[in-house]
Structure 1
Amino acid sequence: MCFNVGVVTCGPNEAVIISGVFHGGNPSMIVGGRAIVIPCLQKVQRIPLNIMTLKIESPRVYTSQGVAISVTGVAQVQINGTNEKMLKTAAEIFGSKTAEEILFVSKETLEGHQRAIMGNMTVEEIYRDRKTFSERVFAVASTDFIQMGIKIVSYTIKDITDEEGYLWALGQGRTAEVRRDARIGEAEAQKEATMAGAMAKEQSVQARLLNDTEIARAKRDYELKKATYDVEVNTAEAEAQLAFQLRAATINQQIKEQDFQVKVVERIQEIEVAEQEIQRQANALDSLVKKPAEAEKYRLEKIAQANRLVRVLEAEAEAEAETLRGEAKAFAIEARAKAEAEEMAKKADAWNEYGEVAKVHMILETLPVIARDVAKPLSKVNKITMVTDGPGEIGASKITGEVLQIMQKMPELVKDMTGVDITKQMVPA
């Protein structure tokens, strides 16, 4: 089942009463707020909480003396929205009433209590003591209004009239009494004033004589005191002048001492500032010159140490290398000598083993090499100029002949060196 719901709101000057489903026998009462309601299942009633002003007129009401008077009162009433019980009572009584109907019921109720109080009081009591009358009406009516959920905020009498002239006569009698009392009071006041005048005049003469005497005495005392005061004043002025001079001298001395102290403090501060400046410059010199210089010196020392170490290591390495080279060279020489000795020995052994023919064959194989080496210088000559002074061969045949002569001397050279005569070992073709 789905219901359409709505929102009901009310201001702070009214109350909303919600009854029906979901509320049972206790309706919800909201003052200055909002609530969700379900139409057709819940009923919403509004009650105004504004203050209502009532003008209560009671014409021709007979007092306890039988005098007819008319009274007009003014009251302010309001449904009590702060008391839940009274609000519930008001909802039960005025739930379907308009503001005019609530105002009418309140006015009729208060007017009935006003008439009842008027009938129990005399005209004089009502006229002269309106406060008591208002309090009695307020107290009696409040009980009934609470039963309706309404509170009386205030009640006062606005006007009292009558058609018989009773109030006028009462006023006239009172006026006559007031006038009589006024005349009696005036006569007594005049008598008292005359007596007071005479007494005052006598007292005035006595006072004037006494005053003159007092003036003369006061004048004498004044002159004496003035002379004394003048002496005291002059003495005090002299003392004050001297004290002022002493005080001034003391203050000047203190000022001079303070100036001197200020100068001393300033000098001390200047010295401290100078020392701080010197310290700052020293720190700056230390940070800008000494520290970098020390750092550079340290760097150079480290570099020199490193260079020395490098040189030492290089010298040690060179010496060790030289030693190794020497050892290697000696070893190489020894090995070469051994190799050459072994080779010579082997060659000697081989040479001894070779026969004459083999030796000749080896020699012959070397002859072209020798001839090539002999003729090799001639291969590097670009131009040859030959001069002769006698008969004989000239030109290229001369040079070739000289080379052949060198080659013809080879057998003799070989024989001298090896003991082998290659000419004898030559095999005929």
Structure 2
Amino acid sequence: MFGYRVPAPDEAMLISGGRRGMGTAPFRVVTGHGAFVLPIFRKTRFLTLAMCEAEVDETCVTKQGIALTVRAVIAFKVGNDKESIINAGQRFLSDQDQMAVLTGRIFAGHLRSIIGSMTVEEIVTERQKLATEVLETSKTEMGTIGLSVDSLQIQSIDDGQTGYIAAMAAPHKAAIQRQAQIAQAMATQQSAEAQQAAARNQAEYQRQTAVVQAQYSAEVERAQAEAAQAGPLAQAQAQQEVLLAQTELAQRAAELRQQQLVAEIVKPAEAEAERIRVLATAEANRMKIQAEAAASYDRVALDRMLIDQLPLIVKEAANGLAGANVNVLNGADGLSEIAAGLVSQGLTILDSVRANLGTPQSTGDDKHQQRGGGAPNRREGGPIEIE
């Protein structure tokens, strides 16, 4: 926006040209925010608040008269308060690089003053004490010009060609070397003792290892011997178990085969035989029934035929006696006997035919007597003679 100015975070904006609100300061200080600045009537300048650095490389004389070259680095900046900004702005606003130059000169003077009151031994061994005293003595003067010091680091202290610091360090070096030699000797001794202990430990380890190996070898040999002894027995037992298993398997296979044969051959054969027997029995019964029926029919038919032919047979028998010279000695009784004999002969012929055809013969005492004689018996009245 026209006329509105904002300083950077590490800057202070100094506005000059007006008297209102400035008090005794020649300008108004603005930090952290912006402000309207009237063109032509106001003038704006910026003062850095960032960290700055100054180096010191100064030759100083100690309390002992020995010249030392001291190198140091000072980190400083403009103070954050308004008074420090005003003081620094009035002194360095036109040439802000002069802050580092002036700071280096201030610290160089205080450094010469303080080193002049100290010995080389104090300076070398107590560098932090030296830096603290220089900071304390320069704080007031740095605050007057609006600067604050953050740190002072002494980088090096050199005595040039005098060799004082080296000579001062010689006893310490000798002591250090002596201590180093002693430490080396002790380390060598300890190393030798450690080596001896290691050798003893190695020997003991080898002995124990040999014992363990011997025990292990003995255990292995014993186990091998037991295994060698137990091997044939275990093998025989294993073979016996295999044979038992094979026998049981064979028995099971035989039983299974037997069941299979019974199911495949015996049962079908028995069923077929039973079927044939039933059919044969039925056929025999049928034939028997048919035979009995036929025999019964033939017997009835034959008997009927013979009965029908019986008069003819008797007639023919009588015709045969027609030309015969028959003497009847007993009168009427003899004629009756002749007629009875003819009938008896006809019955005999009937029985013979039945016998030849399988027909059962007549039973009874009269028929048996008639088949035995072939002619009627004569009665007591008198014999019948036929010529």
* TM-score with structure 1 setting the length: 0.42
For the pair shown, which has the larger CA radius of gyration, 1 or 2? 2
Structure with the bigger RCO (C-alpha within 8 Å, sep 6+) is 2
Higher share in helix: 1
After TM superposition, the score normalised by the length of structure 2 is 0.46
